[in-house]
Amino acid sequence: MSSLSLPQAFSAVLSKDPYSQWDEFNLAVREAFASKGKAYFDYGMLHECATDLEWVAAGNAPVADNTTGDLVPIPRPTNERPANLTQNASSAAVAAHSREHVRYLAIREASAELKASLLLSIQDPSIISLIQQPPNGTMNITSMQIMTVLGARFGVPSAITLTRWDAETRLPIGQLSFTEYCASHRTLHANLARGQSPLSEFEKVRRIISGMSVRSDLVKAADAYKSLNPLVHNQNFEDLVEHVEIQEPNMTVHEGGYGASVIPTITMVEHEKLLALAVQRARKGTKQGGSGHSDGRRDEQRDSDRVRPKYCYVHGYDGHAGKNCRRMLGDPTSYPASKVEAKAHTDVVGGNAWRRPVQA
Cβ-proximal residues to 192 (8 Å cutoff; 6+ apart), any chain: 162, 165, 166, 169, 198, 199
C-alpha distances in angstroms, 326 versus 220, 242, 245, 320, 331?
21, 11, 11, 10, 9
Over residues 120-133, the pLDDT tens digits come to: 999 999 999 998 88
The per-residue pLDDT for 269 is 54
The per-residue pLDDT for 339 is 85
| Weakest-pLDDT range from 7-16, 201-210, 243-252 | 243-252
130, 131, 137, 138: CA torsion to nearest 10: -150
Over residues 216-271, the pLDDT tens digits come to: 888 888 888 888 888 888 899 999 999 888 876 555 444 334 444 433 444 555 55
Instruction: Give the chain's mean pLDDT.
Output: 80
Report the alpha-carbon angle 24-27-29, nearest 5: 110
